[in-house]
Each structure stands twice: as structure tokens, then as C-alpha cells.
Amino acid sequence: MKFSKSTANLLLVFVTVLWGSTYIFNKMVVNARMQSGTINAVRGAMCVIGGIILFHRQLRQANRFDIKIGLIVGVVNFCGYYLRTLGLRYTTPAKSSFITVTYVILTPLVLWLFWHERPKFKIIFAIPLSLTGMAILTGITTSNWHLQPGDLITFLSAFFWAFQIIIFGKYASRASSPWIIITLIGAVQVICGTPLALTMERSSLAHVNWLQALLPLLIVAVVITFAARGIQIRAQKYTDATSASLILMSESFFATVISVLLGYDQLSPRLVLGGILIIMANVIMQLDFQNTRLKTEN
């Protein structure tokens, strides 16, 4: 079944709304007193079970390259998700989402440091704008330059999301099937999260409200991880990369709207201004000004 570009873009908007809701569901799980290692282990187990049930044929075709890349991405994803859920204990979903999307700015810096790919000139404008937005959003400007622990932890997680974007773009795209990679990511969640849950977090397991935690975790693992990713892969075939990037980047906007509506965040001038500056910085990084100028001149 083929889609028009407008239909594909609408599907991507739907995907972005689902991604934005992830922060709310994760906050629900955190509020149910489930620790980060346990969250990863349970979420990963759900992903693996879903992958085996839905994509067992693709999994049988996995080769050594698929397994290698899947395990590497799995470790990076585990670190990013662990830090983000840990940070959510000390910050709000809206702030977490805005700080997380700074990976758009961090990605070219990581490419420069580890792959020696020189970043484009526009990053000179994007970085100060993003940092200013984050400073306003996190309250550094009104708290004697004291960064809250949850905000700092979330910012650290953004580095791992930047690494994941790079690995997906450079290596995972050559995998036999994206579902193999997604299922392997879930397997790594289980492998890395279970020891943490049984050792460092063992005493907290008795205090977890499992009924409150399992439903949002199931939604994140099955609906958002598998369904949304599948829709995204399908829809991006029928639209251009710039449109897709700008739509998917609005994840933090939808996260904020949902968070405010559900009462997790208050709609304050600081939240609005800081979020707008971060989104503007990300838009600068997504747009290709050189090609736009050439088209205008022609």
C-alpha cells in the first residue's frame, strides 16, 4: 500500500504524538516506585516476547553483522534509557523531553570527536541557542547556576541518544531487518537490567506497585516501540528527510502538551521560552540553508 506525502506526514505526526507520550508513561512507571534497572529489564522482556511472536521469521535470518550491531545499539540504548528514567525521578516530563532533544545538537559534535567529521557552520548558532534554552528551562538562570540532578542526568542521556542516531544511520540501516535490531535491543535491556534489579534494586522490588507500573510499560514496549517504529519506517518511504526530521523533532512539544494537560507540568513562561529556544536550535540543525540558498538563486 502506497501513501501520498501528506498522508505519510500525518502518520509521522501520529508517531511523534506516541513518542511524546513516552515521557508520561515513563513518569507513571517511576511514580509506581520501579527503579531504572528493573524498568529496563521488564521493558526489554516485553520487547523480546513481542519480537519473537511478531517477527520470528525475520529473526531466523539474523546474521553476525545484525547481531553485532544489535548488541552495540542495545548497550547504547540501555544507557540512554537508564539515565533518562533515572532523571525522571528528579525532573518533569516536559523538561525531560526538551533536554533529551538536544541530541540533535550533540550528534554532529559526537561525529566530530569520534568519527572526525567536521560539523557544519550552523552549529555555531545552534549550540548557544540550545544552551540558553536549556538554562532557562532548567532554572539555572534563577538558581545561582545550580543544575538540578534530574536535568543533568537527562542531559547525559542525550549523548547516548546521539550515539544511537549515528549508529542507526551508519550501520543499522544495513541490517537484514530493523525488527532484528529492535528485538536485540530488548534482549540487551534484559541482560543489563536484570542484574541491577536483583542486586542494587532488590530491596525496592517489594515496594513497586506492579499493577500501576506494568500497563504503561506494556504500552511503551509494544505500542510505542514496535507499532510506532513500524509506522515510522513505512511512512518515511513516502516523504522527504527534512519534513520527517522536523515532524519527529516536535516530540518534545507533544510531550509538554500532554504533560501539562495531565498535571505533571505547569505551563510557565520559563517552560515556554526555554522550549522554544531549544526547538529553534534543532530546526537550525535540520534545515539545509546552503541548498535553500542555491535554489533561491537559481
pLDDT tens for each residue of 127-143: 899 988 888 887 765 55
Given a contact cutoff of 8 angstroms between Cβ atoms, the answer to whether 158 and 99 are in contact is yes
pLDDT per position as a tens digit, 14-60: 999 998 999 999 999 999 999 999 999 999 999 999 999 988 999 99
Residue 298 has pLDDT above 50, yes or no: no
pTM of the model: 0.87
Cell of 203: 530491596
Tens of pLDDT, residues 248-290: 778 888 999 999 999 999 888 889 999 999 999 988 887 776 6
Q: Which pLDDT does position 142 carry in this prediction?
A: 58
List, as one string, the DSSP characters of 111-142: HHHHH--PPPTTHHHHHHHHHHHHHHHHTGGG
Q: What is the pLDDT of residue 297?
A: 44
Three-state helix/strand/coil letters over 166-219? HHHHHCHHHCCCHHHHHHHHHHHHHHHHHHHHHCCCHHHHHHCCHHHHHHHHHH
Q: What is the pLDDT confidence band of residue 146, given thresholds at 50, 70 and 90? A: low
What span, in angstroms and rounded, lies between the C-alpha atoms of 229 and 233?
A: 6
